[in-house]
Structure 1
Amino acid sequence: MSELVWGTPSELRSLLCELVSWDSRTLTDGERAFAPKVADKLKELDYFKSHPDQLALHDAGLGRHAVTALYKQPDATETIVLISHFDTVWTEEYGTLEPYAFHPEELTKKLMDYKSELPDDARADLESGNYLFGRGTMDMKMGLALHMALIEKASVESWPINLILLTVPDEEVNSTGMRTAVKELVLLRDEHALQYKLFLNGEPTFSQEPGDPKEYVYSGTIGKIMPAALFYGKETHVGEPMKGITANYIASFLTQQMEWNNLFEETSHGETTPLPVSLQQKDLKSEYSAQTPYRAAALYNVFLMNRSAAEIMDLFELTALRSMSDCNAAYRQICDREGVDVVGDIRVMRYEQLLVYAEEKLGTEEINRLKKETTENTDWDDREKSFQIVDSLMIRCQELAPATILLYAPPYYPAVNTSDDPLVTKTIELMKKTAASLGTKVEQIHYFNGICDLSYVHYKDEAYGWTAFERNTPVWGETYSIPFPEMAELNAPVLNVGPFGKDAHQRTERLHIESAFVRLPVMLETLVKSMMD
């Protein structure tokens, strides 16, 4: 039997520090280089030396790749998919310590010289010696390291179950990596006659509130969707303000009704979604002038538990109709006071309605040209491209103004929950008992309270509510898409078991050493072996 190379806490810690040292900030050369490095690391294992065809890179666009590594036991069909992401957020907040951000051992030592600048809880954790600091230590290269060690041990000890290690880029922005990987998982299943038993993510445990010391396992993940609006008013000179209506004025009514609107709040399994807020509101003037801003855009964040894209669009439209009714009433009152005629009542339209109107007026060929012109602009992200497509259509259909056009902007993370699945219920109880035997306590949370790639498996939507997202997302099929049919095929339950850490996306991001290198390897091995019966 081969010796394990990642079998001890110190070896696992060395692996983590190596993975963290590979700077893989989203949309950088480091992110593009990371997947081949992971593949090369896995090629060092005897199993993948003998089975090189079971280790693959999958194109995720922009030079990035997802990695799949299949440990296949000849007589087994049941398979656990181990999911992680390797991109990280950026590091400007480290300031003078930024050169150390990807070197956990050095950063942790160096922080001792700056501990007076740290928040009290971070300083206490640093002085305790129980934490390892650094970008990606917690979120989430430790999850990847644990999965690499797990698949190594399974292959060396010939466990009678199949494991697929899947690690992806771009979770932090658009989850392009996971959306790409969905189809690959379907292909792997069919090619090797696999039966997916569990999708197991390794995202870290997040505190539920400041100072929360508890560790958790998650039996689902919260969803996120982004309703947006393009507001089109009527331009005028600032010296004649009542001859027009600014888009900013119109936008203010919808934003006030969207912010903290409990109409969008959901409660499931005793847990409640955060309230919606605006993520962006801006006018589309590109330069200063005395012309009033007559086009504006706003983007809103809505969390989901059970609702579909269709249901959210219905609620968004209802909110828009109410807010535009208020806007029309307030605007008419001002016009009456000033003794002038109104420019017009503000209509509310969905993007899909605008598109039908524009195609009848301009023709499909012209619409396709406008879309292509926008989507090929590399200076804009998918959100800006969405607004620009709607804007270009409204400029050519100004007879519809004043108007508020409702749309969706990427990304969309469907909510997933398998808390009631018997396998999940049994496994969570096992994790609680195992953690107790290791001297700690683990509790269940039904929805992971950070966005995660589990959103793209176990998709349930019998009413095809996702089509409302497709029809109202201007960049759909061009620069953004979601493989909903394939997601529905990946119908095994989901679970997230990861290490304890604190302050993800902050300069004090840190990983609990004993949780990561001592407890989690035992817990994950126990979990997998429980499914080998």
Structure 2
Amino acid sequence: MGNYKWNNPEQLRSLLCEVVSWDSRTHTEGERKFPFKLQQKLLENDYFKQHPDYLSLHEADPGRNLVTALYKHQDATDTVVLISHFDTVQTEEYGDLEDLAFNPELLTKELIKRKNELNEESRIDLESGDFLFGRGTMDMKMGLVLHMSMIEKAISEDWPINLVLVTVPDEEVNSAGMRAAVKVLVALREQYTLSYKLFLNAEPSFTQKPGDENYYIYSGTIGKIMPAALFYGKETHVGEPLKGMTANYISTFMTQLMEWNALFCESERGESTPLPVSLQQKDLKLQYSTQTPYRAVALYNVFLMKRTAQDVMNLFEQVALKAAKQCNEAYQLICAQARVKPIGKVSVIRYQELLEYAEKKLGKKQVEKLLSDVLAHDEWDEREKSLRAADELLIRCSELAPAIVLLFAPPYYPAVNSSDDPLIKETIELVKNLALKEFELEVKQIHYFNGLCDLSYVNYQDQSYGWTTFEQNTPTWGSLYNIPFQQMSELQAPILNVGPFGKDPHQSTERVHINSAFVQTPKLIESLLKELFSVKPTM
């Protein structure tokens, strides 16, 4: 047996607190520095000093890096990829305790003094002494710590398999880290002759409803896509309202039909996607005036299980055509009553069609210049740039108005599921039996992880090339936003998520269950790796 540093509950707790203390909120300096701190921590293991090529930083995007750490057994090709993310969401909700958000031991002690300020469930958990509070304790630095522990064990006990630890930035926003990691994983496979057999994530076990104390493992992850719309009417003075049409008027018909529309709901294996909702709706007027708002935009959230981008765009177009029809009928009636001539009929256009029209009218060079000017606005995020790109084109092709332009805005998470895979079925039974026998813990399987997850970017299967619809209708595609669909298709191995139990991710009461994190889950992950890949116990 080796000299372990990240093995027993006390060591794991200490490591978690250290890793949490490295503030790595998305899009902060802390997130940029985190990979270098982690690299130094991993170098405490002599294995990586002896094999420096096995521990690497890779650029995710300018200024941000992902980390890979390879444990390579000389006789093995079978490889398990251990996936985690190290960024966390922001911490404003901690109020005057924000300085302690990254110090779990002190925060937990301080909360005891303020327990009456917590909701009942959080207060009961705090008083039990069974939870450690802090930003990133649950989501998901404990997962990274578990994977570090597995790498150390494999090195120390000379496991006859290969492990690749991959931990990435930006999971909480656009998954730039995991999208970049796809290419890295393909390259590592070629360089070291690895055969990927399992992609194992350690996102925490999420509660399914308030008060839920069940422990879940996940054999898939839900997908998400963001259909968006630009509404373009005709400007006028408020004193002559029927000489124009507000974009807000058009948008109300669309949002009424999109919000909670069961057409977008999918059900598989007794689980269902949440209904779609609007995430943003606004007009594009920059200041107040008596000119009516003639351009507006909306973003809609749609979850996926089996559907591709093409499927969603087809449904989205169907809804838009119905919205346009209702809008036109209502508008025609108003014009008839007022005895004025309508300005036209609202049409529905896909971004792909608008782009082709604009290129014919303006020329490719001018269109490229317009789009590149939009991308130069650093104050806009990927979603805003997508909407503004469509807006810039339609301003110059206003003869197409009034219109609803349909597009996609980042991010896009394809759904992935491995519930029918023989290896996953075997693994789930193994974990269930072990948890019951060792800890009297009942493990429940969920087929689709109900929080978005980096596993969306591996084991991609789409024989119909439905993703090309996403490429063609995402204005920032290829310049600001990319998904490596082709390489994702090459990473064919089943997925599984086994992580610690916790509660309240993204809240000031985020916490991880101490026994689950430091005793139960390490044992479950170690056992499944050893059993599946015939690792014999060390003497």
TM-score (norm 1): 0.99
Partner of 2:485 in structure 1? 484
- 2:296 is equivalent to residue 296 of structure 1: yes
Q: Encode CA deviations 1:18-76: one digit per residue, 9 max, x unaligned.
A: 01000000000000000111111101102111111100001011311000000000000
Partners of 1:207 and 1:414 in 2: CA distance: 22
Partner of 1:400 in structure 2? 400
**Counterpart of 1:85 in structure 2: which amino acid?**
H
- 2:515 is equivalent to residue 514 of structure 1: yes
Q: Encode CA deviations 1:79-103: one digit per residue, 9 max, x unaligned.
A: 0000000000000000011110000
Q: CA deviation at 1:530?
A: 1.3
SS of the residue corresponding to residue 280 of structure 1 reads strand
**Counterpart of 1:481 in structure 2: which amino acid?**
N
Query: 1:131-530 counterparts in 2 under 5 A?
Result: 131-437=131-437, 438-530=439-531
Partners of 1:477 and 1:55 in 2: CA distance: 30
**Counterpart of 1:524 in structure 2: which amino acid?**
I
SS of the residue corresponding to residue 164 of structure 2 reads strand
**Counterpart of 1:467 in structure 2: which amino acid?**
T
Partners of 1:3 and 1:49 in 2: CA distance: 16
- 2:29 is equivalent to residue 29 of structure 1: yes
Q: CA deviation at 1:413?
A: 0.0
Partners of 2:192 and 2:326 in 1: CA distance: 59
Indicate conservation of the 8 Å contact 1:225/1:412, yes or no: yes
Partners of 1:2 and 1:271 in 2: CA distance: 44
SS of the residue corresponding to residue 388 of structure 1 reads helix
**Counterpart of 2:204 in structure 1: which amino acid?**
P
Partners of 2:258 and 2:434 in 1: CA distance: 44
Partners of 1:398 and 1:155 in 2: CA distance: 64
**Counterpart of 2:440 in structure 1: which amino acid?**
G
Structure 1 unpaired stretches of 5+:
none
SS of the residue corresponding to residue 47 of structure 1 reads helix
Partner of 1:120 in structure 2? 120
Q: Encode CA deviations 1:333-376: one digit per residue, 9 max, x unaligned.
A: 11111111111100000000000000000000011111111112
Q: CA deviation at 1:531?
A: 2.0
Q: Encode CA deviations 1:215-262: one digit per residue, 9 max, x unaligned.
A: 000000000000000000000001111110000000010000000000
Indicate conservation of the 8 Å contact 1:20/1:136, yes or no: yes
Partner of 2:537 in structure 1? none
Partner of 1:101 in structure 2? 101
Residue range with higher mean Cα deviation, 35-44 or 450-459: 35-44
Q: Which runs of 4+ in 1 moved over 3 A?
A: none
**Counterpart of 2:525 in structure 1: which amino acid?**
L
SS of the residue corresponding to residue 349 of structure 1 reads strand
Q: CA deviation at 1:377?
A: 1.5
Partner of 1:531 in structure 2? 532
Q: CA deviation at 1:120?
A: 0.2
SS of the residue corresponding to residue 144 of structure 1 reads helix
Indicate conservation of the 8 Å contact 1:47/1:156, yes or no: no
Indicate conservation of the 8 Å contact 1:308/1:465, yes or no: yes
Indicate conservation of the 8 Å contact 1:382/1:475, yes or no: yes
Partners of 1:42 and 1:164 in 2: CA distance: 13
Indicate conservation of the 8 Å contact 1:310/1:465, yes or no: yes
Partners of 2:514 and 2:396 in 1: CA distance: 59
Q: CA deviation at 1:148?
A: 0.3
Residue range with higher mean Cα deviation, 374-383 or 177-186: 374-383
SS of the residue corresponding to residue 498 of structure 1 reads coil
**Counterpart of 1:451 in structure 2: which amino acid?**
L
Partner of 1:15 in structure 2? 15
Q: Encode CA deviations 1:142-201: one digit per residue, 9 max, x unaligned.
A: 000000011011001100000000000000000000000000000000111100000000
Partners of 2:532 and 2:214 in 1: CA distance: 26
Indicate conservation of the 8 Å contact 1:60/1:180, yes or no: yes
Partners of 2:520 and 2:358 in 1: CA distance: 59
**Counterpart of 2:513 in structure 1: which amino acid?**
H
Equivalent residues, number: 533
**Counterpart of 1:182 in structure 2: which amino acid?**
V
SS of the residue corresponding to residue 58 of structure 1 reads strand
**Counterpart of 2:88 in structure 1: which amino acid?**
T
Sequence identity of aligned pairs in percent?
A: 64
Partners of 2:433 and 2:411 in 1: CA distance: 37
Partners of 2:248 and 2:531 in 1: CA distance: 58
Indicate conservation of the 8 Å contact 1:228/1:298, yes or no: yes
TM-score (norm 2): 0.98
SS of the residue corresponding to residue 256 of structure 1 reads helix
Partners of 1:530 and 1:371 in 2: CA distance: 53
Partners of 2:35 and 2:508 in 1: CA distance: 25
Partner of 1:78 in structure 2? 78
Superposed CA RMSD in Å reads: 0.6
Q: Encode CA deviations 1:470-522: one digit per residue, 9 max, x unaligned.
A: 00000000100100000000010000000000000000000000000000110
